[in-house]
Amino acid sequence: MVLESQGEYDSQWATICSIAPKIGCTPETLRVWVRQHERDTGGGDGGLTTAERQRLKEPERENRELRRSNDILRQASAYFAKAEFDRLWKK
């Protein structure tokens, strides 16, 4: 909508300010969406596309899960080591 109506206004910001209330969002929100669309379609300021951003999030999520698993294993190992020590001590 913004890109189609851009010729009717003096600037892209004026276009955004005109359209944002019609779709029920703030001009800044609409501006962010327009910039992201420009990146996704090969234009814009060279920021990350949605696909690139998703590709970066996946290893971060996996890393977080692996850290959580390691922490659980570390705690379980400490628990069983203490139980074994207590068993040997009581003999």
Taking the chain (91 residues) in runs of 10, the rounded mean pLDDT of each run is 82 91 94 88 74 89 97 95 81 63
**pLDDT the model gives residue 45:** 65
Q: Please give the C-alpha separations between residue 41 and each of 5, 10, 78, in angstroms, as whole numbers.
A: 18, 23, 52
Distance CA 74, CA 64 (A): 15
Query: What is the pTM assigned to this prediction?
Result: 0.50
> 11: closest CA among 29, 33, 34?
34
**pLDDT the model gives residue 44:** 64
Token pair, residue 43, equals 């234009």
**pLDDT the model gives residue 91:** 63
**pLDDT the model gives residue 4:** 80
